[in-house]
Every structure is written in structure tokens, then in C-alpha cells.
Structure 1
Amino acid sequence: MKLLLGHIFSVSIKYVYQRGNTYYYQRKIPQDLLPRYPGTTHIKVNLKTNEPAQVAKKVRDLNRQYESTWAAMRGNSDLQPLSIRQAAVKLLDQYGLKPQPADNDEHGVDSFIGLLQRKHEAYAQGDPEMYESADPEEYLDPTELEALRLLNEEPKFRLSDALQLYLHGHKNKDKKKFRADTERVWGRLITLIGDKELEQVTRADANEFVSRGIAEGAKTTTIERHISILRAIFNVALVEREIAKQNPFLRLRIPRLGEDSKTREPFDNDQLIILAQECRKEDDDIRWLLALQIDLGCRIAEAAGLTLEDLHLDAPIPYVSIRPHPWRTLKTKSSKRNVPLVGVSLWAAQRVIQAAQPGQLFAFPRYTDKNECKATHASNTLNKWIESRLGVKKTTHAFRHTIRDRLRNVGAPKDIQDAVGGWGKEDIGDKYGLGYGLQQLKMWMDKVVLSAF
């Protein structure tokens, strides 16, 4: 279908259709693989966005995912899509049944077996010899075969089970982004090698995950991050299930790791001044969020997830307390810190407090509530705005590189730079108190305040 970009241009994106304000990805399952997708002929996914760029990105990712799955299925006749097992569990549920080792009701079992028996009889068409010799695979579809296996066999511990075990005990299991990121990476592994028993996953499977990622154009550092997720899930599963097996994702080698990464260009002084001045002109919560980052050098999530109580404007030295919250954790222990508010960041914090409504908890309720901090949404919006004002593609994360450069250029010691950006190897609170520490930090940060702001 065609998606409108602005008022002039439109672009055609295959495999997308619109219903109301919702866009869907829909693609035919290849004819040769249809037998392994019983009951359906198409893949259909709600894209959950109507933004053209996001639609295009999701469609590109889905195309890669399913084409990879189909290639793997063609190379292995025993490989089934994960949906087969899910469909089998649903089929059993229709009869009030659960996979072994559940204590199932005999009436439910009899009803389900009766369904399979009727299919057996229909296939034999009254021929006793055909009835006796028929293999279940000849008259049952893949979902029914899987349901029968789940009902009768002692369950095997599979990759999908390992994911649930890992998430169940993880401290961030209720964090929507954490779950989504973890499920997406684990899903890529299952897409590639199938929902194998955990003990059957090999080093060759792990290396294939790396090779496929490189072939599909993923950055090597992204693959490294995905490998760390897979390794963590395997570690938990191997320990909890007492499986005597070496983690296949341990010490994997990624060819030319990091050589394809792009250096983030920091903002120069003129660009910072333009952004600060434009923030003051527009003077809204989106611009306050960006302005906070300019002279703090904090991560977008660190700023977007602040509460009003994190902004200490009545202190002798105004400062922001960057600390973990249920809706937004911090990247590392050393990310917890107190940083003086100076320059345009002080102005932004003052505007947040001045504009706060009675009973307001969050500094940026547009992006944060008690359940989550939508830092990615904020980043996408601000990155586009930065490009529109400067005419160059730079992201909010560049403020972190920039604040280090600015401090370095005025001679600030490395431990001061680390304290401001949360780069140290220890909790900043162990080294800098709220008195002397803030004074020391402010002395250096005052040296980098934008002169034209």
C-alpha cells in the first residue's frame, strides 16, 4: 500500500494494509511450507504504529525474520514454526487438557482421543488393513500430532521453556521493554534453529546465530549484545534444570567485532547554542527534556524518567538526583549520581517545576508513568527535531560524548568527568557527598556553561 509522507510524497510498502487507523503486515506463506502451518495461509501481524518510518522498519524486520525462518525450514524437514506448539497447547485447552505431567480429566482425554480416532477411521475408509498400517502422520495434521505428543510424552525442556524460566525469576520481568527485547532476541534464535530441546542446542547453532546476523547486516556490537542475552538465559536454564552441559554461547567469537561501528560525532559549541536558544523559544516539555541533557550529558531515559522530587532546586546548589526507579532502571551502578544543574539545564528544570500540575509525580508525564518510561519515543521525537534545527543527523546520545569533551577541554580531571556522566566504577555517592562533592562538580561545570545562552 502507499503511505503518505508529509503532504507531497508517498511511498509504497509491500505486505502492508490498513484497517481504520491500524496498519497490518500480511504475507502469504510459501506454498511448499503450508503443510507446516495448519489452519492458516498467511502471516498477519499488527504493526501497532501508523508512522511511515516505523512501519517501513517493522516490515523490513519481519521480512528478514520470516525469510530466515522459511530458509531454515526448507533446510530441515523436521523444523516446525514455534506456532505449532502454541497451537497444540490451545487445541488441548479446548478439551480442558494440559501437557504432561498434568493430571488430566479422563472425560477430556477420551473426547480428544475420540477426535483423533474419527480422523483415523475417515482416512482408512473402512479398509481394515489401511486402518492397521496407517501412521498417525498420514491422517493427523502437525498441530494434532504435537498435541498428542504433549498429552502422552513426558515433556522435554525446550528453548521456549527456558525463556519463561528466565523471565519468571528476573527482577525486571515486569518491565515491558526488557521483556520485549529479551523475547525478540530469543525468538530470533528459535526462528533460526527451531524450538529445540535445550540439551540439543550446539555450538554450531550458536555460531550460525552469529553468521546469520552478519549476513542480514546487523552491527557486530548488536550481535554481541544479543549473544549476551542468549548466554544469560542459557546460564539460568542450565543451573535451574541441573543440566550438565557447557553454555554454547560462552566465549563466542564475532568476526571484526566493533570495526563496523560508527563514531558518534559530538555537538560543537555553535550547535549547542542553537539548540539551547531554540529550546527557550519553543518552551515546552519536549524542549525542556532536551535542554536538561545539554548541560547534564545524561542519557535520555535518565532524564525522561525523573520525578519532580529528583529535581532539587531549593538546595544551596541546585542539582538533579539520577537514581533508579521501578519504571526506569539505570544502566550501571555508577549511573546513580547527583549532578549540579547549570546553564540551560537549570532553566529546563525550573520550567518543569513551574509548569507542574497539582498532584503531578513525574517530570515528564508525556513519556513516563508508574509502569514504564518511553525513552525510545522521546528519543525519536527529539532526534528528528535536532535534525530539523541543525540540518545534520545527530542524536540526543551525543550529548554524553559532548559533555565529556567539554569538561576535558577545560581541564577537568577524569574523575570529575566520570562523576558528571556516571562513568565511574563505583557508586558516585561513595566519593562525592552532597556538600563538597556538588561544589567541586559545579566549579567545573560552570566553566562549560554556554556563554551565549
Structure 2
Amino acid sequence: MAKDISVPFSYTKDGIYYFERRVPRDLQKHYSASKIAYSLRTRSSSVAASRATRAAQQLDEYWYHLRIKGSELPGKHLLRMQQNATKAPGSLLPSEHDDNATVSQSEAVAIYLRLKGQNRPVTFHRAAERACGYVIDVCGDKDLLGYSKADATRFRDAFIERKLTGSSITRIFGTVRSVVNLAASEVGVNITNPFTGVYYDRQSGVIERAPLPADVIKAVQRECMKIDDDLRWLVALISDTGLRLAEAAGLLREDLVVDADIPHVVVREHPWRRLKTCTSARVVPLTGMSL
């Protein structure tokens, strides 16, 4: 890591600028870490200086409210929801007497994670925070009613400029739409989501994966028989069932039913291994090398 005195609150790693600022001691109770650090996503010192300065100003404003009003305002990445605090969850909602009030993007993601993030893996939380963090970086942390279609297209153009694949853009837009829709519903406002119906080439950069040829699968299976250890058993099980690696690695012995009329494996959720989707729970016949 290296410091660049021309860019405040920053350091560089592999040529990329990162924002870094320590949380004041009197406010650390609101945070899950002692400092805030994230990539500024640029190699340009002038761009980094602008972004770092803006981030520092936003933090100063947040910290002012935290000190003066005791507000538990959600931070962009590390400020955690105080679910056990005396303030009710509804305190994030706007005043019922303010017809034009809604919530900011950073507040929206906090509402989203509070409602839909229960018992979800850390990757779910990171995906929502990352996607909405992109919105804040490109378009600002606006009130939900303040975003326009021009903001959404600028958001899209930023990803195209970074050469993200169409599937990655689709995933990010899907998360942002879900956050905006749920938060708007929670605060009781009707909104035309500007992040809906944005055009881009969904096939851009997407490479269709070809299935492994049968002779390659047979060669792998022969090697599994030769080496004959637990890792090769796992590969062999996957080779003829199509199970996901995580599904196969998370099985219990009783999930393998080999004495039935049709030998099969029961794929189900365990405390140590979640399923990717609710419909992933299934019974898969054991045949060939997997049996």
C-alpha cells in the first residue's frame, strides 16, 4: 500500500485508489469496524481526489447527525442496523405528514436487508450493498423519488464503460430494482422505478458454456477410480448426477439411499450448507459412476 498526499483519506494498491477513514471514537458504537475502507475504482489521482473528498464530506454530514440527533443513519458499507436499539424499525420511514418524503438509497438498502436479509448468507448482504453502492457512486445518494431515467442510463453506461458482461449488468440492475421497489412499498409511495426497462445488450460478453464431451468425462472417471480417495469420490458423484459441488460436499451419509428400488441421493438444506434456491431441494437418481 502507498500513500498519495494529493488525494485525501486514501491509499493506493496495485495502482488503484482506496478511500480510508477512521471512525471517530465516540461513534464507533454505531459501526462494525474501526475504519471505513473501499475502492474508489480509479487509477486517476484527480478523479480519486474528487471522490474521496465527496465521501469525506458525506461522512462528516452523517457524523454530525449521529452526534447531534443520535440518529442511527445507515452508512454505505459498514454502518450496521441497530435491530436491538430502542428506536423502532419504522423510524427509518418518513413522517406521515410529509407527502413528498421517502427515503434515500442508503436507507432503502438498510430497509431491504432488515426485511429480506434475515437468515440469508453474507453474500446476499454484500450483493445488495455493492449494487446500491454503485448507484450512490454514479448517481449520488438521492431520495428514491429523485432518481430519473437519465440516472439509470448513466448507471448502465458506467458498467458498459467498465466492460461488464450483460449477465453481470442484469444481476446488478435486478438487485437495485428489488431494493427500490421494496423500500418504496414499505414507506407507502407510488413510484415508477427508473431502473426498470433500461436497454443494454444482455448477451454482451456472455460465453455459452459447452458441455464436457463424453470421452472427457469417462477419462476423469477413470482417474477417480485410480486415485480412489474422498476428493475423487466427490468428483465421481458429481460426474453422473449433475449435482452442484456445494450440494455434494454438504451431504450426510443418510442422504445417500443406495438400498432403495431406485438408488438416489436426497438434496436438502443442512445447517452447514444452504441450497442455492428453494427449488434446489430434490431427489436425484444414482446411476453409472455416481452409484
Q: TM-score, normalised by structure 2?
A: 0.69
Q: CA 1:294 to 1:170, structure 2 compared with 1: closer, same or farther past 3 Å?
A: same
CA positional deviation for 1:184: 1.8
Structure 1 pair 174–336 and aligned structure 2 pair: CA distance change class (3 A):
closer
> What is residue 54 of structure 2 aligned with on the other side?
80
What's the secondary structure of 2:265's corresponding residue? Answer: strand
Aligned to 1:233: 179
**1:221 aligned partner:** 167
1:98 counterpart letter in structure 2: G
* Equivalent residue, structure 2, for 1:98: 70
CA distance in 1, matches of 2:188, 2:45: 30
User: What one-letter code is carried by the residue in structure 1 that aligns with 2:54?
Assistant: Q
Tell me how far apart the structure 2 counterparts of residues 252 and 211 of structure 1 sit (CA, whole Å). Answer: 11
Distance 1:284 1:158 in 2: 54
**CA 1:100 to 1:272, structure 2 compared with 1: closer, same or farther past 3 Å?**
closer
Alignment of 1:139-150 (within 5 A): none
State percent identity of aligned pairs: 30
Distance, in Å, in 1 between the alignment partners of 2:278 and 2:204 is 25
Distance 1:313 1:222, change over 3 A: same
Could you tell me which runs of 5 or more consecutive residues in structure 1 were left unpaired when the two chains were aligned: 1-25, 35-39, 46-61, 102-153, 347-453
Matched-pair contact (CA < 8 Å) for 2:234–2:249: yes
Deviations along 1:260-299, whole A, 9 cap, x unmatched? Answer: 3112121112211121122233333333332221101122
Rounded Cα–Cα distance in structure 1 between residues aligned with 2:235 and 2:5: 47
Secondary structure in 2 aligned to 1:344? coil
2:242 aligned partner, one-letter code: G
Counterpart of 1:328 (choices 274, 278, 283) is 274
Distance in structure 1 (CA, Å) of the matches to 2:189 and 2:150: 19
Contact 2:264–2:284 (CA<8 Å) still a contact in 1? yes
- Identify if the C-alpha distance between structure 1 residues 314 and 214 changes in structure 2 by more than 3 Å, giving closer, same or farther: same
Amino acid at match of 2:203: G
| 1:250-399 matched pairs, under 5 angstroms | 250-254=196-200, 256-325=201-270, 327-331=273-277, 333=279, 335-346=280-291
Contact 2:4–2:10 (CA<8 Å) still a contact in 1?
yes
Structure (1 or 2) with the greater helix fraction: 1
Amino acid of the structure 1 residue aligned with 2:134? R
Q: Unaligned stretches of 5+ in structure 2?
A: 12-17, 21-37, 74-97
DSSP-derived class of the 2:290 partner: helix
The DSSP-based 3-state class of the residue aligned with 1:65 is: coil
How many Å apart are 1:204 and its aligned residue? 1.4
Instruction: Describe the SS at the equivalent of 1:224.
Output: helix
Q: How much does 1:179 deviate?
A: 1.4
Q: Distance in 2 between matches of 1:64 and 1:92?
A: 25
TM-score for the superposition, normalised by structure 1: 0.46
Per-residue CA shift, 1:135-166, capped at 9, x if unaligned? xxxxxxxxxxxxxxxxxxx9972211111100
**2:235 partner letter:** L
Q: Among residues 185, 204, 207, which one is paired with 2:150 in the alignment? A: 204
- Relative contact order higher in (CA < 8 Å, ≥ 6 apart): 1
Alignment-mate amino acid for residue 230 of structure 1:
V
Q: CA deviation at 1:213?
A: 0.8
Structure index of larger Rg: 1
Q: Could you tell me how far 1:86 is from its partner in structure 2?
A: 4.8
What is the DSSP-based 3-state SS (H/G/I as helix, E as strand, rest coil) of the residue aligned with 1:321?
A: strand
Structure 1 residues 34-70: Cα deviation after superposition (integer angstroms, max 9, x where no partner)? 3xxxxx343368xxxxxxxxxxxxxxxx767245997
| Runs of 4+ that moved beyond 6 A | none
Alignment coverage as a number of residue pairs: 241
Offset at residue 187 of structure 1 (A): 1.7
1:309–1:100 Cα change, 3 Å: closer
| Contact 1:219 1:261 (8 Å CA) reproduced | yes
Q: Does 1:167 align with 2:118?
A: no
Aligned residues: CA RMSD? 3.5
Once the two structures are TM-superposed, the CA of residue 207 in structure 1 deviates from its matched residue by 1.2
C-alpha distance in structure 1 between counterparts of 2:199 and 2:192, whole Å:
16
1:65 equivalent in alignment to 2:41 = yes
Name the CA distance, whole Å, in 2 between partners of 1:278 and 1:237: 53
